[in-house]
Each structure stands twice: as C-alpha cells, then as structure tokens.
Structure 1
Amino acid sequence: MSSIIHVAVAGANGRMGKEVVKMVLTDPNLKLVAAISRSNEGVDAGLLVGKEACGVLVRTDLEAALSGADAHVMVDFTTPHSVMANSRIAIRQGVRPVIGTTGLKPADIEELDKLCKNNGTGGIIAPNFSIGAILMMKFAAQAAKYMPHVEIIEYHGDQKLDAPSGTSIKTAEMIALNRQEFRQGNPNEEETIDGARGGLYNGFRIHSVRLPGVFAQQEVIFGGYGQTLKIRHDSYDREGYMPGVNIAVKKAMELSGIVYGFEHFID
C-alpha cells in the first residue's frame, strides 16, 4: 500500500465536509480520491471548497464512488440518518471509516466494530475531534474523582439534530468511569415544568441549549462545599476540528475494529 493515504469524504458539500476536503487537499501525505454529496454531482471538489480544481468530481452514489476510488479511509460528517448506511458500505469495501457524525447509539457502534473486525479493518468514531474539547473531557474525568457533584451544559445552534450532543454524552461517560453512581440533588425535588432539570445520566444532569448564533460550547460544572470548579471549551470555527481529523485519518490505518473516542489518541 502506498504511504500516501487515499481519502474519501462523505458529506463533502456540508460545512464540516468542506473543511475536511480543504484539509486533505493541503496535506501532502493525504490524497483526495472521492467526494460524495447529495448535491453538486459533477462539480470538481477543489472548486467546491474554493481551491484549484483537483480532478475529483463530486458523486451522489457512495457505493459507486468508493468502488472506483481505491480509498483507504472515508471521513463521514453527514447526518445520523445516513451515517450507518454509509459506514456499512465503506467497511464492506475495505475502507476505514472516520466518523464525526453524532447520534450513533451503542448498538450502532458495536455493529460497526464487528463489521470492521470481520472485514479485517478498523476505524474511529469520535463525537468531537477538537483537541481542546478532548482535554476538557479528560480534565473533567480527572476532577470527578475528587468532586463527584457535577452537571454539564452544552450549547449548539438551533439546527442541530441531536440532543444532548455527542460530546456531552462522551464527557458524561468519561466522568462516570471515575464517579460512583448516585442521584444528586434533593430527594424530594419536583420539576414544576417538565424537563427543567435537564436529562439524567448516571445520577447527574446534562442540559442542552439550542439557539441561533451559537456554534459549539460546553461547560462542566463541579460543586463542593464552599467552592465550584468550571471547565469550559468554546469552538468558534470548524477549522479548529481539522488537526484532530487529520490525526484520526492517519491513526485509522493502524486499527483493528472501531475505536470510540478521539481521547484515545491524546496522551
């Protein structure tokens, strides 16, 4: 296999997909070999993202695009409704998925892991590729050992399809590994408006804010006697996710089965 990694991008016309295409085109160790989108068929992928023509034309049929592309890795930032079908197609063709689409359930991840292992390949599913966000998760997991009273507030734009966010769920999972489960708050607490206290996970709460003008932020708040600790991460531009996606594409070539969470690649 060539040392140059051949990359296909699913959702190439989306806001994240376009950033992935740009990233691939500017890395000499990566080669864009397929760009898939539900629209703009026949448009050069380079021109689609405001760069010079690269000779890769957008295709609407994922299976056909991968069949003739000799892709090693497929990066998928599509929707929760299409990511599973996309990943099944890719894995069966020996293409390693790097999935940033959120909304996958544990059973979905398990299915893709088995499919990868059965096909002798691997991949990555990560709710967040931002290195800063991963550090936030790691710091929160560490803090939970000492301050087990915690709540998560996550903020996204009003067009986000899933709530709570994949990032907040992953953060909660990491916290739960270091926190003995117990139900926080007053045992006689009563919500006078349904949902006012947010979603319950492992005895603590996750709150989802959805507003126009918001990009992506998350705050993890720990409470203790006479003190609070707040760990917050703010994303301002999709370009900030690309260094992590770049690492994931290269790490995916070494894997057997699915790795869930980008934190496994940040020491």
Structure 2
Amino acid sequence: MQQRQSPIPVIVNGAAGKMGREVVKAVSQAEDMTLFGAIDKNPQYMGQDVGEVASCGALEVPILDDLQGTMVMAVQEKQPGVMVDFTHPDSIYDNIRTAIAYGIRPVVGTTGLTAKQLDELADFAEKASMGALIVPNFSIGMVLLQQAAIRASQYFENVEIIELHHNQKADAPSGTAIKTAQMLAELGKTYNPPQVEESENMAGARGAKAPENIPIHSIRLPGLLAHQEVIFGGPGQTYTLRHDTIDRASFMPGVLLAVRKVLELKTLVYGLEKIL
C-alpha cells in the first residue's frame, strides 16, 4: 500500500464517554490523523467543543448527536476515513452497517455482538470490499496474555477464565474473555474433563460455559477498570496469567494502530492480534 499523503479523517462515536475522550486526545495528537467529527447521545455535551470536554484543548469540533449526518458530510467533503466506535451493544450493529454503507471504515471497541451479527457484518463488509475492525480489547498486553494462554494450553487440561470490570459495563461476559476462550477452543481440545458429577446449589455458580467446556466468571464492581485472569491447573500446581488495565490510555496505541491498518483491509477482521 502506498504511503497516505493526507491525514486520516476520524469520526469518534461515543466521544464524550470515558473511552471516547481518550480516543479524541489520541487522534488529535497523532500527526497522520485529523478529527473530523465527534458524536455522542448525551444531551449534556451537545454543541460543546470536544477537545474541551476531553481536556486536551479546544479542537473546534463540536459534539453532535447525528452520526449519519456526519457521515454524509464526510462523504460530501471526500473525507470518508474511519469511524472509531465506543458506544453501546444495542446500537453497535447498526453503527457498523451504516459506516460501511457510506464507505467509512469502522474500528470498534464496543462488545456485545452475537456470532450471527458478526457473520452478517463480515458478509456485508466483504460484499462492499470495505475493511472493518472489531476489537474486544485494544491492549497490547492482553494480546500477549492470550498468546501465552495458547502456549500454556499445550500442557494443561484444566482452565477457567475470570474477568473483572467496572459496574457500568453493559455486557457479560466481556468480549475479551469470550475471545480468549474462543482462541483456546480453536486448538481442538476439550478442557476440564469431569472428575465428579457436579451440581450447582445456585444457578451460575460455576460460571458461563464457553466452547470446549471453558468456564467464564464475570465480576462487576466500582473501582475496577478492566482485568482478566486465565487460570490453568494441573497436578500439584496452578499457572495464572493476569492482565490489569489501570488507565484507559493503555488502549490508545492499539486504537491508533487499528485506524491505520483498517485502511488496508477489504473485509471484517475480529481481534487486535490479527493485525499485529
């Protein structure tokens, strides 16, 4: 791919949210990007300069609540570029379809899409020859944890996943935990062979069962941000992999990488590890 001469136009959807503000900061400071639009549904921020809301200085980009109108404007000004979306599971499917329809490549950190929705979006993107990236977790450290888990699975038959998030997260289990379980399941082995006939005295006590019999346990508490443990067990030992996110800024290198890489894609790609 030839070197892009002009900055990449970026629309941030969910711009006034905690992740959205970090994306606004990162995009505004990236030399090869320009913030084209800022969208949010919170009426408290309508019309405000998104740079001031994000505490990175005035950017002369007002927060609007019209995603489709902003996309139309981007197309009219020949700046289709990229949409970065951190919104809500209820709206993300339509947001992605709308972006692809307007020739704007979506980079999505919102989780909660079903397998059927992912398949439909992948088909839609492929027919449009449009790149799209859906990334459950933009942290490079989480990608490394997942790779380490794959390696450890060669030596352990028993594994469980615990994911911990703030209590404003709408979906459970997290997309990251589901993705980790899927990666382990793709290795073609079934985990946690039964040793006894289990029964739950309270429904859900043993967690949700991901593919290949991998339990996932979700914790939601104030004070947490985003954390995950993958615990392997064997005779006389346990092996614990843990990743802790203590600042949302840790996700931004992955977000900026995704904004650049999505321009090279012709279909939907799921997971940051696919573009590293």
Asked if Structure 1 and Structure 2 have the same fold, meaning a TM-score greater than 0.5 normalized by the shorter chain, the answer is: yes
Counterparts of residues 74-223 of structure 1 (less than 5 Å): 74-201=83-210, 202-223=212-233
Q: CA deviation at 1:175?
A: 0.9
**Contact kept? 2:159, 2:192, Cα under 8 Å:** no
- 1:33 partnered with 2:42: no
- Name the structure 1 match of 2:65: 60
**Contact kept? 2:133, 2:270, Cα under 8 Å:** yes
The CA distance in 2 between the partners of 1:56 and 1:66, in whole Å, is 14
Local SS of the residue matching 2:265: coil
The CA distance in 1 between the partners of 2:5 and 2:121, in whole Å, is 26
CA deviations 1:222-244 (Å, max 9, x no partner) are: 11111111111000011110010
The CA distance in 2 between the partners of 1:53 and 1:71, in whole Å, is 23
CA deviations 1:136-160 (Å, max 9, x no partner) are: 1111111112212100011111221
- Name the structure 2 match of 1:44: 49
- Name the structure 2 match of 1:260: 270
- Identity across aligned pairs (percent)? 46
**Contact kept? 2:231, 2:238, Cα under 8 Å:** yes
Structure 1 residue runs of 4+, over 6 Å off? none
Q: CA deviation at 1:32?
A: 0.5
Amino acid of the structure 2 residue aligned with 1:104: L
The CA distance in 1 between the partners of 2:193 and 2:162, in whole Å, is 16
- 1:4 partnered with 2:7: yes
The CA distance in 2 between the partners of 1:23 and 1:83, in whole Å, is 22
Deviates more, 1:68-77 or 1:51-60: 51-60
Q: CA deviation at 1:55?
A: 2.0
- Where structure 1 has 5 or more consecutive residues not aligned to the other structure, the ranges are none
Residue among 244, 248, 254 paired with 2:258: 248
Q: CA RMSD in A?
A: 1.3
Using the size of structure 2 for normalisation, the TM-score is 0.93
Amino acid of the structure 1 residue aligned with 2:275: F
**Contact kept? 2:13, 2:40, Cα under 8 Å:** yes
Using the size of structure 1 for normalisation, the TM-score is 0.96
The CA distance in 1 between the partners of 2:167 and 2:207, in whole Å, is 17
Local SS of the residue matching 2:227: strand
- 1:20 partnered with 2:29: no
Q: CA deviation at 1:186?
A: 2.8
The CA distance in 2 between the partners of 1:178 and 1:145, in whole Å, is 9
Residue among 198, 215, 237 paired with 1:227: 237
